[in-house]
Amino acid sequence: MEGLGVLLVVVAVFLANLPALREQWHGDRAGFIKTIWLLGLYFLYIGLGLAILFLLRPPAGTSESKALLLTGFVLGFVLYGGLTLMRVVPRYREPPDWLMYFGIADIVLLGATLACLAAYLRA
């Protein structure tokens, strides 16, 4: 029953955003199409992360810390993809400059992601 509630919320959010999507389609068609393509690429990127997750999954009976490290790796992988997506997708308001160029956000995300992967492979 909880899954139905989540589905209803997702459908409600989609329906609430339809007028804005329609307005964007009419006002900036090229930007809208580019956004859809980049979103599709991001979904492929997430699929790659899930494939890595299934390839590296720990065998049954291993410690919970390995699962936590693998979760940290996949979360960092997905968040770094989101950061990269935010930089290339057309937008109408500029995010802060420190997010738009390689800097502390990249170092923190890549460092945490690679540290989780290294600790997972070592453990």
pLDDT in tens, 45-97: 999 999 998 998 888 878 888 989 999 999 999 999 999 999 999 888 888 88
Cα 52 to Cα 80: distance, rounded to the nearest angstrom? 15
Contacts of 92 (CB under 8 A, 6+ apart): none
How many domains does the structure of the chain reveal?
1
Closest CA to 66 of 7, 116, 1: 116
Q: Examine residue 62 and state whether it is found in any structural domain, yes or no.
A: yes
Q: Examine residue 20 and state whether it is found in any structural domain, yes or no.
A: no
Q: Examine residue 57 and state whether it is found in any structural domain, yes or no.
A: yes
Q: What is the pLDDT of residues 2-47, one digit of tens each?
A: 778 888 998 999 899 889 889 989 999 998 999 999 999 999 999 9
Q: Examine residue 103 and state whether it is found in any structural domain, yes or no.
A: yes
Q: Examine residue 11 and state whether it is found in any structural domain, yes or no.
A: no
Question: What's the pLDDT at 1?
Answer: 64
Q: Examine residue 7 and state whether it is found in any structural domain, yes or no.
A: no
CB 76 within 8 A of CB 109: yes
Q: What is the pLDDT of residues 100-118, one digit of tens each?
A: 999 999 999 999 999 999 9
Q: Examine residue 99 and state whether it is found in any structural domain, yes or no.
A: yes
